[in-house]
Structure 1
Amino acid sequence: MVKLHGFTHSTCTRLVALVCKEKEIPYELISVNLAKGEQKEAAFIAVQPFGQVPYIDDDGFILYESRAIARYLIKKHPNQGTPLIPTDPKAEALFEQAASIETSNFNAFVAPIVAEKIFKPRRGIATNEAVVAQLLGMLKAKLDVYDVILGKQQYLAGDSVTLADLTHLPYGDAFCHAGFAEEFESRPNVARWWKAISNRPAWLAVKNGA
């Protein structure tokens, strides 16, 4: 069984848990208490030198970085659960294109907005609303493009769901909880896509904790 070392509510831990659910891969969550700084302790740093969650131990194979973990698990178990990464070269290239879109045109803006609106206040630090406004302005233009793309196909890489869609879920959900759901809902194709991926059983199983 895959041992998932992470924090139940962390975005990246839940992404790995989501992939495990989609791929029907049993996993055991080994809780890392971020509030106590366990991710910065020597034993953890010895395995994950950046002191971040999660990492996995798959029968002695250690891997960190949630996107790398997700790809590894998907490719290790190609014949069970949801495919998530195509094997046809052209389809895989479209998946990689979509994955790059998420990293550069979504996560790059949504993650710091969530950090400002949710993570900083939890630590007693004031939100920098000017930073939020600037990031949100840039994100709006990106989501307009998403709406065009998703007006031509069901998902970002075509008409089948892939990892590139699912990577939007943890931070996208936090973005909505931070008061920005309208940014998805006001764009019809984005709204349809967001409703489809955010209601997947695998996500519903982990959205409140890995």
Structure 2
Amino acid sequence: MAQNMMLYWGSGSPPCWRVMIALEEKMLQGYKHKLLSFEKNEHKCEEVKALNPRAQVPTFKHGDIVVNESFAACLYLESAFKSQGTRLIPDDPTEQAFVYQRVFETNNLQQKMYEVAFYEHYVPEGERHESVLKRNKESLVAELKLWDGYLEKMGKGSYLAGKSFTMADVVCFPVIAYFPRLHCPREHCPRLMEYYEMLKDRPSIKASWPPHWLEKPEGPDMLKNL
């Protein structure tokens, strides 16, 4: 089954990483894949554009089915292989709602992290303002405090949506992994860092760990002065 799948991806991309974690959790090892370089703009190649007009990764194909948005690809894999591997979406509607809430809240955390860590990348030099970066940092600290509160309320050893590993963890862990890598002060998110330590050696996460992170475990200190 997995041999009929193709994933185009980039190392360190949270959207790509979450799809790879989902594939591992659903026991779909052996899928075809192609690692593309962001620095060389390989994700904008014709091979990708033929499947994804946005020329973005992840670009995922299963047989004749193409699913390009990472949340959609993860949810597709859970639906198509519901009885295989880890159950990522519970049956109970109340539990489902909680998982979906955390899944889509991940967008907030990811965007606020990008706005601080990659501010100089996305904003041209002449348009940068210290006051804007300061506001971005304050917003990110508040977001981290919110997520820390979620874990605090659920108790030690909890996953993002309860006592079981779910789609919320698949989707959000790749974002959370950036905080220790970019030297975010632990005092801003002690519970998230406990959660990170709990999950970083999970087989699906280790198997899909970004290759360039393995080569260079220490990332730049973009969040050091948060």
- Give the C-alpha shift of residue 66 in structure 1: 0.8
Describe the superposition over 1:91-142 as per-residue Cα deviations: whole angstroms up to 9, x where unpaired.
21221122233233x223223334338xx39xx9x99753552333322432
Q: 1:73 to 1:181 in 2, by over 3 A?
A: farther
Q: 1:91 to 1:140 in 2, by over 3 A?
A: closer
Contact conserved, 1:166 with 1:197, CA < 8 A, in 2?
no
1:12 aligned to which of 15, 23, 31? 15
Identical aligned pairs, as a percentage? Answer: 24
Structure 1: 5+ residue runs without aligned partners?
Answer: none
TM-score by length of 2: 0.76
Q: 1:184 to 1:137 in 2, by over 3 A?
A: closer
Match of 1:39 in 2: 43
Contact conserved, 1:18 with 1:202, CA < 8 A, in 2?
yes
Match of 2:223 in 1: none
Residues 1:205 and 2:207 are matched in the alignment: yes
Residues 1:21 and 2:24 are matched in the alignment: yes
Match of 2:146 in 1: 142
Contact conserved, 1:110 with 1:172, CA < 8 A, in 2?
no
* Corresponding letter in the other structure for 1:133: K
TM-score by length of 1: 0.81
* Corresponding letter in the other structure for 2:202: R
Structure 2: 5+ residue runs without aligned partners?
Answer: 213-226
Aligned pairs for 1:41-80 within 5 A: 41-80=45-84
Match of 1:180 in 2: 184
Q: 1:153 to 1:175 in 2, by over 3 A?
A: closer
- Give the C-alpha shift of residue 73 in structure 1: 0.7
Describe the superposition over 1:149-183 as per-residue Cα deviations: whole angstroms up to 9, x where unpaired.
33288222221111112222222212211111515
Match of 1:116 in 2: 119
CA RMSD of aligned residues (A): 3.0
Query: In the aligned structure 1, how far is the partner of 2:129 from the partner of 2:198?
Result: 31
> Secondary structure of 1:141's partner?
helix
